Amino acid sequence: MRGGNARTGQLFSYVDLEDRVRKNHSLRAIRQIVNDTLVSLEREFAGLYSSIGRPSIAPDQLLRSMLLQAFHSSRSKRLLMERLEYDLVFSWFVEIGFDDPARNHSVFSKNRDWLLKGDIAARVLSTTLSPPKVKRLLSTDHFSVDGTLIEAWASIKSFKPRNGSGGPPSDGGGRYVEADFHGERRSNEAHASTADPDAKLYRTGRGKEAKMCFMGHGLMENRHGLLVDARLTEASGYAERVTSPHMIGPFTGRTEAITLGADRAYDTKDVVKDLRSMKVNPHVAQNVNGRRSAIDGRTTCHPGYGVSLRMGKRIAEAFGGIKTVAEQDKTKLRGRGRVGWAFTFAAASYNLVRLPKLMTDAS
């Protein structure tokens, strides 16, 4: 018998979102890890908010929504709030009731700014890796470090002299004025972006296009390729070498030495000397292009040196997830602190995507 297409409305709704999400959904395992993480961050949440005034959106709902945005590459808060209206899985993950409307996108953004003021992103990254069942997955002896460029939310036209003089002449076109920068010498010392003063003009090599950028840094453990630290600094040719000792520092202090793999950009005498003084074996790729490498046969003779170089390439997968899936290739925030918050939070989302499968395989 053929069924009809008649629709009947219900006076009451008894839909349980827990029953509408299948048991083997990929977000179930992630949601459990997120639940445990947010419970551990209750004290940090309490310190961010005042005890009086109008209640805000719950910080755990904000973080859950931002994780969904990173998981599913939602390019704007408006689209994220729209999907929360009709996607039952999204509502279930954020813990919004079936009959509760989603927040306005502008209200969501204003409430999100409270979280950007704190060190919540770094705490989320560290707390997700702190449970004993997760710690068993992490290597405590072998790490890799690398850096990547994050394009700033600033146009090259905003890069103007600090004293307010000079620059291409205006033809009265307003914000869309045509400008010819050929032949003009510009530098970070004499110029700054009016849109984001923290961004720096940087290019990756000779003949490459210069862009307004930040430099993101990641520290990865080599066993399963999880990020154990993520930071953001100004873009410069020294940023990677200066940041690496600070990132590996918290993991030193034991009697046995640990290893740190890195590419040729870290092959300098200062980096190698600093790492060895911290009892860190610098498994850095040799740079012999017209120069003498700071890494000699005492390091390259060990079989572990080649293993570190091979495993260190996996950090590119993490940067790919952060920049492509979480859409941090070109940030939509301004200011080093806010951009760094988003970069670190994207690193935490990358770990969360990989942890459920790793935990299942280890059990």
Shared domain for 142 and 65, answered yes or no, is no
Shared domain for 223 and 105, answered yes or no, is no
Please, what's the largest Cα pairwise distance for the chain? Answer: 83
Is 80 exceeded by the pLDDT of residue 165?
no
- On whether the CB atoms of residues 356 and 33 are closer than 8 A, the answer is yes
Say how many Å lie between the first and final Cα of the chain, rounded. 49
Determine how β-strand 142-151 pairs with β-strand 211-221: antiparallel
260 within some domain: yes
The kind and range of the H/E element at 229 are: strand 227-234
Shared domain for 110 and 245, answered yes or no, is no
> How many domains is the chain partitioned into structurally?
2
Query: What's the confidence (pLDDT) of residue 157?
Result: 85
Shared domain for 329 and 235, answered yes or no, is yes
- pLDDT bin (cut points 50, 70, 90) of residue 266 is very high
- pLDDT bin (cut points 50, 70, 90) of residue 176 is low
Final residue of a domain: which of 63, 92, 118?
A: 118
Is 70 exceeded by the pLDDT of residue 6?
no
0.85 surpassed by pTM: yes
- On whether the CB atoms of residues 150 and 195 are closer than 8 A, the answer is no
Residues of the domain holding 57: 17-118
Shared domain for 114 and 252, answered yes or no, is no
258 within some domain: yes
The kind and range of the H/E element at 145 are: strand 142-151
Shared domain for 144 and 289, answered yes or no, is yes
270 within some domain: yes
- Name the nearest CA neighbour of 313 among 222, 214, 216, 240: 222
> Mean pLDDT, to the nearest integer, of 139-146?
93
Query: What's the confidence (pLDDT) of residue 215?
Result: 96
Q: Residue 323 maps to which CATH number?
A: 3.30.420.10
